[in-house]
A and B are shown apart, each in its own frame.
Chain A
Amino acid sequence: MLTKFRNALAAVLTTAASACLLFLMLVVVLDVTLRAIEPTWRIVGMVDYVEFSLAWVIYLAIPASILTSQLIVVDLIDRFVPASILIRVGLLLTLGLVALAGYHSITPAMDALDWGDRTLDLGWPKFWYWMAIWIGLGLSALAALIALLDRPEAPA
């Protein structure tokens, strides 16, 4: 049951992150194409589009890589100590640190909201970027917890 949920969540996250990546790619291609046709035709706010979609790509991809057990590790010690114990320790640390990072991102995010911080080009509230971070770090903590409760050594 948990493994099914883990697989389903990983699929949803990779699909959502893929959509953001495709948007990033297509909006850049469209901008370049328009400029090639007529130099004055350009999509206003390209930096904002790229950064915003990249933020979602990153923060949806991190929990997906935790769920699929694809974080980069050095596994030399596996032959001396049971891997499952070390994997659990690693997941516990992952859970603790991403939860801590998520919790301590609340204050700067609320500050950005209170002060009305906005992006330069499109004037988007910077708080929207913090939403990607919160969701990403929250999902990363959830992903580490699921991997911890599920068979941690088995990739989803």
Chain B
Amino acid sequence: MTPQLIGATAILSLVVLVFLRVPVAVALLGVGLAGYAAIDGWRVALITLGTTPFNLAQAYSLSVVPLFLLMGVVAARTSMAQELFAAANALFAGRKGGLAMATVGACAGFGAICGSSLATASTMTRVSIPEMRRYGYADDVAAGVVASGGTLGILIPPSIILVIYAIIAQESVPALFAAALFPGLLMIALHILVIAVMARLRPDALPMAPALPLGRKLRALGQMWKMALIFAIVIGGIYLGWFSPTEAAAIGAFVTILIGFASRQMGLRGFASALRETIITTGSLFFIVLGAFVFAYFVVQTRIPATLGDWVVGLGLAPVVVILFFVLVYVVLGCFLDSISMMLITIPVFLPIAQEIGYSAIWFGIFIVIVAEIGLITPPVGLNIFVIRAQQPDMALGDIYKGIAPFLLAHLGGIAALIAFPALALWLPSLLY
């Protein structure tokens, strides 16, 4: 059996195991080990299995992950999301679809410090859906806005998924954060555009909330100082050269905790619960990263990426055709796998091919994250959909799916723009680094 055939068999086995409900981390670890043994023998494979945990234990740059997780979990336990929503609403009130636009703005802002789509969707479901329903928004619109807006959280820096990508692809975290900024803003703009079009086509489904007087607008805007402070410290600190990503994450988490206690929105019990949630999420994430390390070593041994890369180049296909093929694969995989698992499984194979056909690893990271966003809102495993449904059980699942459909256009538009104009992601990092 050639290494390439072993690799193909192993990748197929991985997919089968994952669908047989084997934890993603264990499937990656097991298939990586068995595949490595099939190529280089059990002795070498077991040495790799025994030494890989040490590589994880000494991965300094991964320290940002639990710290950003803690920051997001604590922020979700305070009133920051409500304040952000009130501020965004103050800006958009008096326009058709204003509440929906405010929800998108609040999702993006909250996602910026939270770093997790699920936490953003979960928080904004509690904050904005009742408000939209109160003003007579159709259920499908309210659910669609939150589900799709919630995905903006994984793109707007600081983003946990980008940190993990940076480790696997051996890229700079600040450069990836910089690369995500304009695509993130573009995604926000596209969401708002979709809402504006919907408000014209279905005015009854997106009624206008009354405009606020200037005084109330300014007061509402002033209330979002906590969020603005944390964002300024974390992102500003990184780009002004004050902090490394790890330092920014530690300071961000610390300030968020201080704000939680000082504003009396979080007590010791709430803090303990936030820590527990952070640790459990950290455990499940890092177990997958451990499995992905072993799997990635194996994929390198198969030489599949190089073979596929040579094959693709030999076919003489336009690079964009290959990238469109990746979009298709990710959209299908995203229907079944969560974003991080999908990314960790595919990067060892796809990234070298993308680089072979001329795309940079930075661009590819942003591309993967935008495509992975779609997976969060497509059935049957659209996690954001389930988060909304769990908190709004009276909403029909069909309504939620229907509400998401128009926003898929925003995501596809974002992907098309990124493919057509790679500078969207590459310009800012090239300017800064």
Chain A positions near chain B (C-beta within 8 angstroms): 13-14, 17-18, 21-22, 24-26, 28-29, 31-32, 47, 50-51, 54-55, 57-66, 68, 70-78, 83, 86-87, 89-90, 93-94, 97, 100-101, 103-108, 126, 129-130, 132-133, 136-137
Contacts and interface: CB of A to CB of B under 8 A. Distances in A.
B51 interface: yes
B161 to A, nearest CB: 13
Q: Is the interface of B mostly helix, strand, loop or mixed?
A: helix
A71 B26 contact: yes
Given A21-B275, A57-B279, A64-B280, A74 B336 contact: yes
Nearest to B243: A32
Contact of A32 (B54, B250, B283): B250
Interface string B9-30: 0000000001111111110011
Interface stretch (B57-65, B130-138, B407-415): B57-65
B381 A73 contact: no
A130 B50 CA distance: 10
Interface of B: 18-26, 29-30, 33, 46-47, 49-54, 56-60, 62-63, 66-67, 70, 243, 246-247, 250-251, 253-254, 272, 275-276, 278-284, 286-288, 290, 336-338, 340-341, 380-381
A51 B58 CA distance: 6
Contact of B18 (A29, A74, A129, A136): A74
Given A21-B278, A24-B67, A129-B58, A70 B246 contact: no
A100 B34 CA distance: 12
A101 B26 contact: no
B284 A51 contact: no
A104 B47 contact: yes
B24 A74 contact: yes
A13 B281 CA distance: 13
Contacts of A24: 63, 66-67, 250
Contacts of A71: 23-26, 284, 287
Given A14-B279, A25-B250, A73 B21 contact: yes
B54 A130 contact: yes
Contacts of B341: 72
Contact of B381 (A25, A74, A130): A74
Nearest to B33: A97
Contacts of B50: 101, 103-108
B282 A58 contact: yes
